Amino acid sequence: MPVEGKVAIVTGSSRGIGRAIAQRLGKDGANVVVTYSGNRDKAEEVVSTIEASGAKATAIQVDMRELEDVRSLFQKAIEHFSKVDILVNNAAGKNIFKPTAEMTVEEYDSMFNITRGVYFALQQAAHFLSNNGRIVSISTSGTVMAIPAGGAYAGAKAAIEQFSAGLAKELGARGITVNTVSPGVTNTDGLVLDQAQVDQLVTQTPLGRLGQPIDVADAVAMLLSDDARWITGQHIRANGGIV
């Protein structure tokens, strides 16, 4: 039980990679705050599976584009569990792949407003996270792979990597580690590629398959454990070796 008794916030954890992370942390002994933007039923399903594993969990609605939601998240978590030891920034909106010449302001803002929410979630963690806590933010391997029509999306994620690298320097004296994890192509309902594109990327992946949410969750769980106490300011790619 590597995180037994710890309290973790996992944003965007009603489905996909966030769901897998929340469930893995519950299995590892953490009490988990599951956040969701719209589908409470899915979030409550995750709460139920975590509680079935013997940990405690609660669901809180958070729109990462709304700063008041972000700022109140830690307060609500502390009211419920008395502390917060772990923050996993996983929440993401719709990933829009569009040529630069065609991207609208509204589409651009829809991605970067989530990025802004991640920044202020990190700010709240800087204020309220317990000493020797852990922060992991989810990025994308697209930040090191030039993808046609992916510039705005990759830029929104690359900013999160820089937020995290700077914060690691700021919080190190408190024993708090700050890292990012970048999945590759992962089998979630947010996957926007067609089958031919997926097959092509699989052939480029040394481990020879499509990533699964649990692959990313296991990498995150490692960084959240005490075994990773000497790892901070790092960018870990959980992508089967595609880059």
CA distance 180 to 223: 9
Strand ranges for the chain from DSSP E: 7-10, 31-36, 57-61, 86-89, 134-138, 177-183, 235-238
Per-residue model confidence (pLDDT) at position 30 = 98
Catalytic residues: 153
At 158-195, the pLDDT tens digits run 999 999 999 999 999 999 999 999 999 898 987 767 78
Taking the C-alpha atoms of residue 117 and residue 3, their distance in angstroms, rounded to an integer, is 26
pTM of the model: 0.95
Q: What is the pLDDT of residue 77?
A: 98
pLDDT recorded at residue 197: 83
What is the architecture, at CATH level 2, of domain 7-238? 3-Layer(aba) Sandwich (3.40)
CB atoms within 10 A of CB 233: 16
Tens of pLDDT, residues 43-59: 999 999 999 999 999 99
pLDDT at 62: 97
Characterize the bridge pairing of strands 177-183 and 86-89. Answer: unpaired
List the chain residues with pLDDT less than 70.
192
Domain residue spans in the chain? Answer: 7-238
Q: Give the three-state DSSP class for 178.
A: strand
